[in-house]
């Protein structure tokens, strides 16, 4: 069976705050989808209320064959498919199942950026392109750290995470 005929999970980007609408569109045309939701307490001037909010803002997952991705892109409020090197990137089944299990667990779930302090990273663009180091966090800021083991010293650079890639 070719890759185009296999069912895979794909992440699609939606317009802001349109995730539930896209889910209902997908449900109405019979596309298997997964919109991870979490309950959060929202505060307004006159009231507080528990509401279900998307775990990942502007993202929804759907399980389709690769050749049908354009059918999803035609749906209202769907912006694009998540891609790497201009190729739609499948989401592993284990990752979808892990998210589902985490949401069944009744504790608070929070989403962070892909890189966490302690990850070995490489700068992918800009004047520091190619440098390797460790991501650190200090007082709420993310720092790129180059550790020089021979002298036991570290050099810290405040840098945007979008120019870092995990090694």
Burial class (CB in 10 A: 0-12, 13-18, 19+), 149: exposed
Q: Spell 15-42 as b/e; 16+ CB within 10 A means b.
A: eeebbbbbbebbeeeebebbbbeeeeee
**What pLDDT sits at residue 134?**
76
Report the CATH number of the 3-104 domain: 3.30.70.940
**What pLDDT sits at residue 138?**
56
pLDDT at 8 over 90: yes
**What pLDDT sits at residue 91?**
87
Q: Length of the chain in residues, anyone?
A: 167
pTM over cut 0.85: no
DSSP 89: P
Which parts of 38-164 fold into alpha helices (H)? Answer: 69-73, 93-104
Summarize pLDDT for 74-128 with one digit per residue, the tens: 999 999 998 888 888 888 888 888 888 878 766 566 666 566 677 777 777 777 7
Summarize pLDDT for 119-132 with one digit per residue, the tens: 777 777 777 778 77
- CATH class of the region 120-166: mainly beta
Domain boundaries, the chain: 3-104, 120-166
């Amino acid at each position: 069976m070719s890759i185009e005929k296999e069912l895979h999970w794909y992440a699609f980007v939606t317009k802001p705050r349109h995730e539930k609408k896209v889910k209902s569109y997908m449900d109405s045309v019979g596309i298997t989808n997964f919109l991870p939701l979490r309950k959060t307490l929202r505060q307004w001037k006159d009231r507080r209320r528990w509401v279900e909010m998307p775990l990942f803002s502007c993202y929804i997952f759907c399980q389709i064959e690769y050749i049908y991705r354009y059918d999803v892109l035609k749906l209202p409020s769907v912006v694009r498919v998540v891609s790497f090197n201009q190729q739609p990137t499948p989401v592993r089944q284990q990752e979808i199942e892990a998210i589902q299990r985490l949401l069944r667990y009744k504790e608070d779930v929070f989403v962070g950026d892909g890189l966490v302090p302690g990850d070995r990273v490489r700068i992918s663009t800009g004047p520091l392109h190619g440098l390797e180091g460790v991501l650190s966090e200090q007082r709420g800021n993310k720092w790129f750290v180059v550790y020089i083991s021979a002298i036991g010293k570290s050099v810290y650079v405040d840098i945007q995470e979008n120019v870092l890639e995990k090694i």
